[in-house]
Amino acid sequence: MLSKSERKLTKPYNLPKRRSQAKHSNAKIYPNVHFASDPNAGDFCILGEPPRGKRAGELATRIGARAVIRSHTVIYAGNVIGDDFQTGHGALVREENKIGNNVSIGSHSIVEHHVVIGNNARLHSNVFVPEFSVLEDDCWLGPNVVVTNARYPQSPGAKENLHGAIIRRGAKIGANATLLPGVTIGENALVGAGAVVVRDVPAGAVVVGNPARVVKRVEEIAEYR
């Protein structure tokens, strides 16, 4: 398919020559960002971005051992993140979140501020998680899942009445599902792809549709037994 004139282009950076910097050569890392072991920070990342009203380096950022932070990711200052953290490319993590061990935040996903994420949580690509959400251990959010927190956006009291969703341990949210503000998704529940969840989902329930309705139990699915 390609012509014979293929050429090999070499990297145009003028990369720093020190071996110890090669791993995060084109990342911007602010002061007061602490890693438990030398991180693998991709190109064009920003780590320790100061939130509004804070000076560069004013808030400490702590990231555990063996972090892999892929290119174009932005992580704000003031996060406390466990070991074995991974992001895809272009992820955004705002300030003041508590994130457990072995968490993966996929490419282009956004986690706002004051979010709590448990161990082994998996956020796939293009996920949106607003402030005050709680994602417990072992939960899974598929591609393009959207969590919300404002029942009446732009109403006079909206900012004081934000209710993040609670996604209980082991719950799985299918691709492109939408969770309305303040809903709780019970333990090990399964939300179908494209569902719009407008009320709480019981533990172990399977819901689909718009609005989402219970159609069965996860125990009825052979693959989960």
Chain positions 110 to 139 lying near a second copy, rule: CB under 8 A, are: 110, 122, 125-126, 128, 130
216 contacts a second copy (rule: CB under 8 A): no
If you ran DSSP here, which 8-state letter would residue 160 be given?
Answer: G
Nearer to a second copy, 119 or 134 (CB): 119
Q: Show contacts with a second copy in window 95-114 (CB under 8 A).
A: 101, 107-108, 110
Query: In the bound complex, what is the minimum distance in angstroms from residue 129's beta carbon to a second copy?
Result: 9
- Identified binder of a second copy from the candidate list 54, 58, 71, 84, rule CB under 8 A: 71
Q: Does 40 help bind a second copy (rule: CB under 8 A)?
A: no
Ordered strands of the 178-179 beta sheet: 28-29, 46-49, 74-76, 92-93, 110-111, 128-129, 146-147, 178-179, 196-197
| Interface with a second copy (CB under 8 A), residue from 58, 65, 116, 163 | 65
Q: Does 79 bind a second copy (CB under 8 A)?
A: no
Edge to edge, the sheet with strand 33-35 lists 33-35, 61-63, 80-81, 98-99, 116-117, 134-135, 166-167, 184-185
CB 173 within 8 A of CB 136: no
Please identify, using beta-carbon distances, which residue of 3 and 134 lies nearer to a second copy. Answer: 3
Q: Reduced to 3 states, what is the DSSP secondary structure of residue 179?
A: strand
Q: How many CA atoms lie within 13 A of 39 on its CB side?
A: 30
Cα distance between residue 97 and residue 133, in whole Å: 10
Smallest CA-to-CA distance from 184 within 200, 172, 161 is with 200
Quick note: the x/- pattern for a second copy over 145-174, rule CB under 8 A, is: -x-x--xxxxxxxx--x----------x-x
Q: Is 8 in the site for a second copy (CB under 8 A)?
A: yes
Q: Is 90 among the residues that bind a second copy (CB under 8 A)?
A: yes
Tokens describing residue 54: 């804070």
**Is residue 29 near a second copy by the rule CB under 8 A?**
yes
Q: CB 202 → a second copy: shortest distance, Å?
A: 19
In Å, how far are 132, 160, 183, 188 from 157, measured between CA atoms? 16, 5, 19, 33
Annotate each residue in 187-206 with x if it binds a second copy (CB under 8 A) or - if it does not, as one string: ---x--xx-x----------
Residue listed under structure tokens 């009446």: 152
For a second copy, give the closer residue by CB, 202 or 215. 215
Q: Which of 51, 54, 80, 169 binds a second copy (CB under 8 A)?
A: 80
The verdict on 89 binding a second copy (CB under 8 A) reads: yes
Peptide bond into 211 cis (omega under 30): yes
Pairing of strands 178-179, 190-191: unpaired
Nearer to a second copy (CB atom), residue 89 or residue 134: 89
